[in-house]
Chains A and B, each alone.
Chain A
Amino acid sequence: MSAGVGVDLENLWIRFGDFVAVRDANVNINGGDFFSFLGPSGCGKTTILRAVSGFLEPSEGNVLIGGNNMKGIGPNKRPTALIFQNLALFPLMKVWENITFSMEIKGASSAERRKRADELLEMIALPDQGDKLPSELSGGQRQRVAIARALCAEPDVLLLDEPLSALDLKLRQHMRTELREIQKRVGITFIYITHDQGEALTMSDNIAVMRAGVIDQIADGKTIYNDPATAFAASFVGENNVFRGKIKRVMGNEALIATNRSGDLVARISTANQGKMKEGDDAMMFIRPEALAIAPDGATGDHFVTARVNHEEFEGNAFNIFTEGDGGKEIKVSLPNLGQSFEDHTGQIITLEYETRNAVLVPAGELAAE
């Protein structure tokens, strides 16, 4: 564990009238971590961030920063800095004044501020842009100015509220790497809010998957992707094919599931649910598109699925086959493009196979909206 300051949420409840925005959240964020809250819009992740930064008092429970309870401490007294979704750069101040606003508050001289601004501008690769107004910068430059402004306050914890959502795709991908690098360089705790699973997976040490005010799973990116704890986590993070059914037999960490339309299939019970699932339970099996492959015709068994191909598409890096699936939802098969030839299967019935370790079984639950 690095030297940074950790953040803990203890039994955190946040209500707005009758509406429960956050339900009993318990999160331990290690100091120096890049931690993401991942969830669809309206799931309460921004509310958690506002509670950490001090703009919102929790209805119940505590926010601890570096072990200190933050109850009753205002946002201007907390060792946090927030990067707003719309960045909230001060439109009438020049870039360098924006960046060093926290120093102005403390009464630093203009020369000191200039010096610090130049250092930070150097760090965010915007040298000599200090005299411009924020409106004269591009989206990505503004983004970096907002980061510099937050870092100038020397916070222990940097909070980021979907800061990349306003940028175009190319810039977003570029900023991911840049953010991660900045975080490694300054070594402070980053708490990142996003609905983009790509951002969360590429940047985070740990991710909390949120759904309607509830935290479904907290784990590192690989675990979330490969070993989801709930149907929501499995369907929200990355693409996934779902097979509904009932558990027929439990065999240690594996189970045989009687699916609604593809017969009996074998799957691995996800780590979080091992020992908790028993025969007769409603369950969902998830297989990633890239974990499915075309099997020789006529193959049968508990890891083969047969289905009619609806349509196909060529994506460049992959060749996608969509077959009829469970409950109107198509099964997607993604075959990596390694230079082999693809034959057209449209209208044919094909057999798909998978490896048991790639099929994850979780209790039946709510799926993420498309």
Chain B
Amino acid sequence: MNNSFLRISIWVYLAIFFAYLLGPLVIMSVTAFNSSGFPRMSPWECLTFQWFGELFQDQRILNGIKNSLIIGAGTVVLSVAMGLAGALLLTQIWPKLRATYYTIIIAPILIPGVVLGISTLVFWDRINRMLGLGADSFLSNGIFLTVIGQSTFIASYCMLVLVARLQRYDIALTEAALDLGATHAQAFRKIMLPFMRPAIASAAVLAFLASFENYNTTTFTFGEYPTLTIELAQKVRYGITPAISALAFIIVALTVFFALLNEAKLKRQELVAAARKQATVEELAGKIRLPSFFAGNMAAVLLVMFAVATITVVGTATAYNPAQCIADVREQKQLEAETRIQKLRQLREERRKQREAEEAEQGDVQSTPKPSNNSGFGNVFAPNALDGDDGDGASDAENPPSNNGGSGGVFDPNSLQGDQ
């Protein structure tokens, strides 16, 4: 009883935890497929892939991605090289200095990215001037500065990853290589580097992701080469469209894909190693019968499911045309709007009649209540009117914000649509 309660609590906790972790990503991804002009899940209008199309037509986003990739590659090379050098030094340095050295080398992680960005800019600008170079020199190039600026702290992350692996390295392996006639360079290249390869790969991925998502430092250093994060931040200032959701969905999908791919590969290596251990000499000498790729490999199964899902989605996207649905939604909205207008007209008519009757009674010609009535209705109908507009998306030439404005604006678009 108590035990089952505990178990249920754990599951509930897990559900909440994962909802908290993944919920925003899921919602953002879903909004990428809604035809609504503002990224949202409800009300669901139409399944559409138009935002992906729009994303790939947005030159600023594409340019941002390109710059991010270039800077990411540069940062990976520089950070991993510096991280490896730092890690090697940490294992070689005089033990008494080790703690101090470690603190110094870790410090950039603790320094705010904004400070690193400003100091990078100031420092290289000063060097640029000392060398007497102009404002368009290599040293003030946005890509150069961003790579340098990001690497100041990403190299520290890389070092941490590499040190963890290096601590498991047996220095006797290098000694054995030297003893067998290798030079120090050969021992490093043939023995230590292959040993470090998995950690170098991890560090490279980490460095790339850290570079790709960096904003704080980059915002000071990008110059004429805005990265994706910079472009996104600038875009958000002028309003957000589901094209951003589409980009988010692509990034999430790619991340899941590579995570699964890596997991499947690791699992496969494990299985192969296990099979090799069991294999007899004859089997090894002859052809090794590898276990089927999927046997006991959950990640591989998921990967294949993922691939199938991707193909399905892409296939649907090319074949599917939401125009009919969008048209239906538009029509429905127009109908709704028309009925509303009818009602409004009726209401107005009734009031006019009432007023006329009153005027006839009082002989007083006062039209003051009219605007106040309009604004009252305007508040009620404004969101719906907005929906109608957004549903039309880019094809609609009208400007939604204007609807929120004057009281007359409430009626204008609806009546216009009704006329169409």
Contacts and interface: CB of A to CB of B under 8 A. Distances in A.
B276 interface: yes
B416 interface: no
A11 interface: no
Interface residues of B, number: 22
Contact of B182 (A82, A89, A105, A149): A105
A244 B172 CA distance: 45
Contacts of B182: 76, 101, 105
Interface string B89-121: 000000000000000000000000000000000
Contacts of A133: 276
B170 interface: yes
A74 B174 CA distance: 13
B178 A90 contact: no
B195 A91 contact: yes
A76 B172 contact: no
Nearest to B285: A128
Contact of B172 (A86, A132, A150): A86
Contacts of B190: 101, 104
Size bracket of the A interface: 20 to 34
Interface in B168-182: 170, 172-173, 175-182
Interface string A122-160: 000000110111001000000000000110010000000
A80 B285 contact: no
B172 A84 contact: yes
Given A104-B190, A131-B285, A88 B175 contact: yes
Contacts of A153: 179-181
A75 interface: yes
A76 B183 contact: yes
Contact of A76 (B170, B178, B195): B178
A82 B179 contact: yes
A326 to B, nearest CB: 44
B284 A128 contact: yes
B186 interface: yes
A91 B190 CA distance: 12
- Which applies to chain A's interface (DSSP): helix, strand, loop or mixed? loop
Given A102-B181, A128-B281, A153-B181, A90 B176 contact: yes
Contacts of A74: 178
B118 to A, nearest CB: 44
A170 to B, nearest CB: 22
A92 B173 CA distance: 11
Contacts of A106: 181
Nearest to A84: B172
A88 B276 contact: no
B370 interface: no
B276 A105 contact: no
B170 A92 contact: no
Interface centre among A86, A101, A153 (most CB of B within 10 A): A101
Those 9 A-B pairs whose CB atoms lie nearest each other, nearest first? A88-B172, A88-B176, A102-B180, A82-B179, A75-B178, A76-B178, A105-B182, A105-B181, A84-B172
Interface of B: 170, 172-173, 175-183, 186, 190-191, 194-195, 276-277, 281, 284-285
Interface of A: 53-55, 74-77, 80-82, 84, 86, 88-92, 101-102, 104-106, 128-129, 131-133, 136, 149-150, 153
16 contacts: A55-B178, A74-B178, A76-B180, A77-B181, A80-B179, A88-B170, A88-B172, A88-B173, A90-B177, A90-B191, A91-B173, A101-B177, A101-B182, A104-B190, A128-B285, A133-B276
